[in-house]
Amino acid sequence: MNSPEKTSATSLPRYSRIAGTGGYLPANCVTNAQLAQRLAASGIDTSDEWIADRTGIKSRHFAADDELCSDLAVAAARRAIEAAGCDASSIDLIILATSTPDMVFPSTACIVQHKLGLAGCPAFDVQAVCSGFVYALTVADSMIRTGAASRALVIGSEVFSRLLDFGDRTTCVLFGDGAGAVVLEASDEPGILASELHADGRHVGILCTPGGVSGGLLRGDPTLKMDGPAVFKLAVTVLEDVARSVLIKAGRTEADIDWLIPHQANIRIMQSTARKLKLSMDKVIVTVADHGNTSAASIPLALDVAVRSGQVVRGDTLMLEGVGGGFTWGAVLLDY
Ligand code: UT7
């Protein structure tokens, strides 16, 4: 078993590093053609061609009716723990990013903790929609650096299909379900080099699920609403800005990035970000074709795919970038 650097008030770890990654996709894979056929039955006109051309998505996975956010998260977490080569009992912090929790409360992180057979360590959810994993990773990094934790499980898990209005073709073709996880542990070596988080609540309305519960009833509309073009425009601007800012903080340049692992919302946003950062697309991890947009799960899922395929190897410098509802955005630069 690897043991993370011991922490004390006098010798705090200087860094946190990713010890292992894991991912999980529900078994039900739905292609664009299958989805278009399903939508046609209710009079909604879309096509594989439109979806693939405008977004890069070819298929997505949908969770089974009895599969919960916590089930996906546990499957991804087990794989990350196995990859890290550590005992689950050594996990001393669980942070889970999601907008599709099992319950209003308690947090899905607490449910995951119990399903993993753990107890005692802090466990909480982070709600930053598609930026959620970058937020969760930054919080875990900060807690490890201050000595509050030494081995964290950081998870992004979503059952976004539950929020979709299958009568709205502008949104229902875009999203999928899945989970990704990392074990982040204290280390003398980097690790996470720099990170930055942002939010601007003026843009709440361009991407939201406005419903809630009140008096035992649903209040408002509990399906996802998005002004796609407005989100697109903001996303391409903030993703460039935050990447540059994080590079400056870390004393690195675009040339130091081995892999850009952006939130997987739309291939055209990824192409635009890569172009602005002067990176060729063969330095960008792209899973949107097979996963669709899995919100907080998209970055750790893409990371796990890249690690398991051998694209990302130890020593590579990775730029992780998220953007989503809130409006929220952020980036983490790390040496894997
Ligand atoms: O994860 C959080 C972050 N989210 C994102 O980053 C999403 C950002 N936005 C986008 O990715 C894109 O804006 C979309 C993929 C959502 C839309 O692409 P677009 O190129 O901005 O298309 P549009 O919304 O401007 O719509 C173009 C046309 C419209 O028809 P008209 O008005 O030109 O006749 C739409 O009605 O495409 C039509 N359209 C569709 N046609 C067939 C919209 N959805 C569909 C569809 N199938 N599914």
Q: What is the number of the ligand 1 atom nearest to the C-alpha of 324?
A: 2
Q: What is the pTM of this model?
A: 0.96
Q: What is the number of the ligand 1 atom nearest to the C-alpha of 175?
A: 1
> Of 232, 234, 263, which is best to mutate to test ligand 1, by the most ligand atoms within 8 angstroms of its C-beta?
232
pLDDT score of 2: 44
How far is residue 278 from each of residues 48, 226, 265, 299, 333, measured CA to CA in Å? 30, 29, 20, 21, 16
> Of 170, 225, 271, 327, which is best to mutate to test ligand 1, by the most ligand atoms within 8 angstroms of its C-beta?
170
Residue ranges lining ligand 1, Cβ < 6 Å: 46, 50-51, 54-55, 130, 169-170, 173, 207, 228-229, 231-232, 235, 265-266, 269, 293, 323-324
pLDDT score of 1: 40
Could you state, in chain order, the average pLDDT of each consecutive group of 10 residues for the chain (336 residues)? 49 90 98 98 97 98 98 98 98 98 98 98 98 98 97 98 98 98 96 98 98 95 97 97 98 98 98 97 98 98 98 98 98 98
Burial of 213 from C-beta contacts in 10 A (0-12 / 13-18 / 19+)? exposed
pLDDT score of 13: 75
pLDDT score of 12: 78
**Gap between the Cα atoms of 134 and 140, Å rounded:** 10
267: which 2 tokens? Answer: 């291939």
Extents of the domains making up the chain: 15-187, 192-335
The protein residue with its alpha carbon nearest to ligand 1, atom 41, reads 46
Does an H or E element contain 334, and which? strand 328-335
- The CATH code that applies to domain 15-187 is 3.40.47.10
pLDDT score of 316: 98
Mark out the alpha helices in the chain (DSSP H runs).
Answer: 32-40, 48-55, 69-84, 108-115, 132-145, 169-172, 228-250, 267-276, 288-291, 298-308
Q: What is the number of the ligand 1 atom nearest to the C-alpha of 263?
A: 1
Can 15-187 and 192-335 be said to share one CATH topology?
Answer: yes
The protein residue with its alpha carbon nearest to ligand 1, atom 30, reads 170
What superfamily would CATH give domain 192-335? Thiolase/Chalcone synthase (3.40.47.10)
Q: Determine the distance separating the centroid of ligand 1 and the alpha carbon of 214, expressed in angstroms.
A: 33
pLDDT score of 4: 55
Residues involved in catalysis: 130, 263, 293
